[in-house]
Each structure stands twice: as structure tokens, then as C-alpha cells.
Amino acid sequence: MAIFVNENTKVLVQGLTGGQGKYHGLRNRDYGTNIVGGVTPGKGGQDVDGIPVFDSVAEAVAATGADASFAAVPPKFASGAILEAAEAGIGFVVCITEGIPAQDEALTYNTLVRNFPDTRLLGPNCPGIISPGKCNIGITAGEIAEAPTAAGPNVGIVSRSGTLTYQALYELKQKGIGVSTCVGIGGDPVPGTNFIDCLEQFQADPETHAIMMIGEIGGSAEEEAAEYIKTNVTKPMSAYIAGVTAPAGKKMGHAGAIVSGGKGTAQGKMDALAAAGVEIGLNPTEAGELMATIVAGL
């Protein structure tokens, strides 16, 4: 099994005719993802390397039965694309777009919660999701991910950082450890999917035997996850929190990565996770080594 996406997921690429949409959409298809169509208003009837293009998500869903969407569109149009997918009945939307204003993110997220509770948004400003050997939606290079095995043990990964998502995947691949699903939730202030959403799914997934979590400074998502882990997660975990040396009050990379008012520090997050029984690595490689030790004991 896997969480959120698998080999049966039918994916549309919103923005397939654009540079980024075409590049990553075709890479996803070549990995084995079932890309069934693209959407660009005004370009319906065309195709991109054999993938049909439609004018609207509703038309694409009617023609292909798509149930997931990859939104690779500029910030100005991203919120509209997400809501269009939801209105068309798409159940899972991955948005990689960076630079969407936080106010727009908040409005879009709350509109989804209120009007489209059956649609899950991953992102924005995220690398996407990969269930190795089954489905890859987003910008992650499929070759750095080790596919899970029937016998296991397999690891589920959830990360706020895009770059560290890739490192976590490759650290485990180098050790021959399979990954059930790797979810990059993104580092913006208003993510559509959070740590707890993923932890809940990994806990329930029989193909996931351990969980690796990558966090970073800013906000309270990691502390909230730690509280959830205490009472709801029984699978062993390792984690790494980026930003130990970040100065207070200065934004570091992601829009959500800022320490303010003494809250959101890396040390505070590490302490909270350690208190929940999570093994804490002081760098990404150490987190991978801790996970290898965990897996060896399963």
C-alpha cells in the first residue's frame, strides 16, 4: 500500500503546456505515473507528447476520470487552479507553486475546508509526493527513491523542506531501505496538508513500518505533531529539525521559517519530539542513520 497516491491514481497536469508543467509532467509520466491529461485554458484539443490537453479541469475529468491534479501554474493563477480542480471533483491536488501570498493561501485553504471537504491540497511551495515504484507527482527525482518491498520494513517520510526531502530519500536508498510514500508538505505558513495528516495516514498504512520526519524552524507544526505522536503514533520514528543556528527574527528560506517571540526554535521542536519518543538526529545524515538502526531492529 501507500498513502494518498498509488499506481491507480489518474493525474492531470494543470499548466502542462507551460515550461515547468511540461518538464515535470513528462518526468512524472516517464517515471510511471498515470498522467491522463493536461489543462490549459484556450489550448484544448492540443497535446503534449501524446498527452491530451483540455480547456478546463471539468472537461478533463469527464474525458479521463482523473482523480488527482498537479498544479504547475504561476502564483497569480495558482489559487484559481486549485479551486477549479476541487470544483471538478478532484480529490487530491498537488501545488508546487512558490510565492503565493499568504492571504491567498489562507483564503484558498479555508474555501477548500468549507466548500470542498473531499479535496486534499498538498502544498503549495512543496516538492510533491512520491510513492516509489507507483506514482510520482511533483518535482522529486524518482531515481533517488527506493521502492518498498513486500516483506519490509519500509519507511514513510514527511518533510517541510524540499531539499531535505530529497536528502532523506537518498540517505535511505543508499542504505537499501524502501520507502512507502514520501510527502513534501512545503514550508509556507498555510499548508494544505500538515504533519499530523501524514502521521495519521502512515500510522494506518500496513506497508509503513517506521516514520521519518523532517521539520524546520518557525510556526508550531512540529510541536503539534509531537503532541499527536504521544497518543496516536506507535510506529518508531526519527526526525531532524533544520535551523539550529538561525537568528531570531530573520526569515530563513521558506516563508514559514521564521523564529519570533522566542517561539518556533529548532531546539524547542527537538525537545518536544524527543519527549514524544522520537529519535532526533543533529543533521540529516544522522537522522538517516538513526532510521537505519530502527529498521534493523524491526
Q: Among all residues, which ones are annotated catalytic?
A: 254
Q: Which amino acid is at 234?
A: T
Cβ–Cβ under 8 Å, residues 205 and 180: yes
User: Residue 182: which of 201, 279, 174 has the closest Cα?
Assistant: 201
Q: Using the 8-state DSSP alphabet, how is residue 147 labeled?
A: P
Ramachandran quadrant class, 125 (left: phi over 0; alpha: psi -120 to 50; beta: rest): left
What Cα–Cα distance (Å) separates residue 266 from each residue in 271, 272, 277?
9, 10, 17
Q: Give the separation between CA 213 and CA 192, rounded to whole angstroms.
A: 17
Sheet architecture: strand order including 120-122? 47-48, 51-54, 34-39, 10-14, 68-71, 92-95, 120-122
Sheet architecture: strand order including 178-184? 135-138, 128-131, 178-184, 154-159, 210-216, 237-242, 279-281
What is the distance of C-alpha 220 from the center of its chain? Answer: 18
What Cα–Cα distance (Å) separates residue 145 from each residue in 89, 133, 178?
30, 9, 8
Cβ–Cβ under 8 Å, residues 206 and 1: yes
Q: Give the separation between CA 137 and CA 118, rounded to whole angstroms.
A: 19
Cβ–Cβ under 8 Å, residues 238 and 297: no
